[in-house]
Amino acid sequence: MRRGTVRMEQVRADGFDEFVAARWSALLHVARLLTGGDRQRAEDLVQEALVKLWFAWPKVAEQAPEAYVRTVLVRMAARSARRRWWGERPVEQLPDRADPDDVSSTVAERRRLEAALALLSPKQRVAVVLRYYEDLPEAQVAQALGCPVGTARSHASRGVARLRQILSDAVRPVG
């Protein structure tokens, strides 16, 4: 390796490792929400997004690495959502139903929300996650989606309405 190449790698790495260590968990959670709760796909998305960030690090390190990674995540999640089949995931046993008095009710509620998010269209899911989980302004949501603010607002509104419908239907007793 040439001397200049080593220097470039050191400049590129300055701050990158700290950013990844500080933001990994939050990025993974956003990716899980964007993929409808699929942890493996979420991990793959975050890793691919961080590879792209690595190459762009000298340009974005001082400006907005978080926004850059978030935009990459959204675009990659939208692209992967267009795939029709992700394959079956066999399990040895079916999961047990949660006991309502169980202390893990918070975890069950999160899973229920993730499952409901998975039923939204990709653009609605992105708009809801970025607007209400990430608490981004509508203009940034629109920028991440690559659409006008009004369209992003519409995606978020329709997504929230659909979530309410899905979650209320799941609670309603059958019969």
Would you call 53 helix, strand, or coil by DSSP?
helix
Rounded Cα gap, residues 146 and 45, in angstroms:
19
> Quick one: DSSP state of residue 133?
I
Residue 125 has pLDDT above 80, yes or no: yes
Q: In the structure encoding, which two tokens stand for residue 100, read together?
A: 């309502």
Q: How far is the first Cα of the chain from the last one, in angstroms, to the nearest whole number? A: 71
pTM: 0.58
Q: What string of DSSP letters covers 119-144? A: TS-HHHHHHHIIIIIS---HHHHHHH
Q: Choose the weakest-confidence range: 20-24, 110-114, 118-122.
A: 110-114
* Domain spans of the chain, in order of start: 13-82, 103-175
Residues 50-94 have pLDDT tens digits of 999 999 999 998 888 999 999 999 888 888 766 655 555 667 776
**Cβ–Cβ < 8 Å for 117, 36:** yes
Q: Find out if CATH 1.10.10.10 is the number for domain 103-175.
A: yes
Rounded Cα gap, residues 122 and 36, in angstroms:
9
Residues 142-160 have pLDDT tens digits of 998 999 999 999 999 999 9
**Cβ–Cβ < 8 Å for 43, 28:** yes
